[in-house]
Amino acid sequence: MELPHHKILISKEKIIQRVAQLAKDISDEMKDENPLVVVVLKGAFIFASDLVRRFDFPHQIDFISISSYGNATKTTGVAKILKDLDEPIKGRTVLLVEDIVDTGLTLNYLYQLFNIRKPKKIEVAVFLSKMARREYQIPIKFIGFEVPDNFVVGYGLDYKQQYRSLPYIIGIDE
């Protein structure tokens, strides 16, 4: 599939540098917490794998998959859980790892869902943030980059399930 008209917003080199710094920040904060790292499928899988390979402290990894309503470029709501966590989180520190926070609907949904299970605390790490479109305010401690309000693809993020493996971030003109 040919790439739609695009420009590179974040280079591979900048991503590597920023993710290394985030991993260090998270290590400083969580080294004594033995957190459960929860990767939100599918988009966060590359960000999460680069992050955890730089963690130098004990942690476990789990995955959650949710489906959302909407078309290729606009989310309109969270539909249901496709795959829930395997691990209980009661009393544990959770590091929720997501690809991008846009309106905040998805993270808000996950945050509420996890809170019911009474974890010790929930911290959030997102690779990208589109501040301009935020509707739900969730405390996010670790943010990779702020991006403008256009559809972005690469480093795990897809357009119609394509381009997740691009090592950089591009903005697509719709």
Give the catalytic positions in this structure.
102
100 forms part of the interface with ligand IMP (CB under 6 A): yes
152 forms part of the interface with ligand IMP (CB under 6 A): yes
| Residue entry with tokens 């969730």 | 138
Number of residues engaging ligand IMP in binding (CB under 6 A): 15
140 forms part of the interface with ligand IMP (CB under 6 A): no
Measured from the CB atom, the residue of 20 and 79 that comes closer to ligand IMP is 79
DSSP string, 108-151: HHHHHHHHTT--SEEEEEEEEE-GGG--S-----EEEEE--SSE
- Report the largest interatomic distance among the alpha carbons of the chain, rounded to a whole angstrom: 47
Query: Which window, 4-12, 27-35, 104-112, 161-169, contacts ligand IMP (CB under 6 A)?
Result: 104-112
> 127, 18 in Cβ contact below 8 A?
no
144 forms part of the interface with ligand IMP (CB under 6 A): no
